[in-house]
């Protein structure tokens, strides 16, 4: 069955960095565009980044552009999100999503001093 599992979240100080990882199985990873979506506590869903199935043309929301970078390793069925210069308002649950339908359970990122 389809599995999408995020890891790498945690508590980090403002200005710090984290790297999120999304490990997948049960579907043909290299055929799917992949997304990162986040949800701040008590707030709605916010699209963060997208990468095409072949790893070209990563897109990032304006709120994270220049600080976050999406990438993927199709040989390992894995998606990444490198997050630098973290800010308080980056605090959220970060979800990995394959195509429109396959969501992970999310990983919590807390940016706090």
Partner 1 sequence: DIQMTQSPSSLSASVGDRVTITCRASQDISNYLAWYQQKPGKVPQLLIYAASTLQAGVPSRFSGRGSGTDFTLTIRSLQPEDVATYYCQKYDSAPFAFGPGTKVDIK
**Coil, helix or strand for 72?**
strand
Q: How many Cβ atoms from other residues are within 10 Å of residue 64's Cβ?
A: 23
95 interacts with partner 1 by CB under 8 A: yes
Based on the shown chain and the rule CB under 8 A, indicate whether residue 5 belongs to the binding site for partner 1.
no
DSSP assignment of 41-67, as one string? TT--EEEEEEE-TTS---EE-TTTTTT
Site for partner 1 in 55-84 (CB under 8 A): 59, 61-62
Q: How far is the CB of 64 from partner 1 (least distance, A)?
A: 11
Nearer to partner 1, 76 or 89 (CB): 89
Residue 9 interacts with partner 1 (CB under 8 A): yes or no: no
């Amino acid at each position: 069955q389809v599995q999408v599992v995020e890891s790498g979240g945690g508590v980090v100080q403002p200005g710090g960095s984290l790297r999120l990882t999304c490990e997948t199985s049960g579907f043909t990873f290299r055929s799917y565009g992949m997304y990162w979506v986040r949800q701040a506590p008590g707030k709605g869903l916010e699209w963060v980044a997208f990468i095409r199935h072949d790893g070209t043309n990563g897109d990032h929301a304006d709120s994270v552009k220049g600080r976050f970078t999406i990438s993927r390793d199709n040989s390992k069925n894995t998606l990444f999100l490198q997050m630098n210069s973290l800010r308080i308002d980056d605090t959220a649950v970060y979800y990995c999503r394959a195509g429109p339908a396959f969501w992970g359970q999310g990983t919590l990122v807390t940016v706090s001093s």
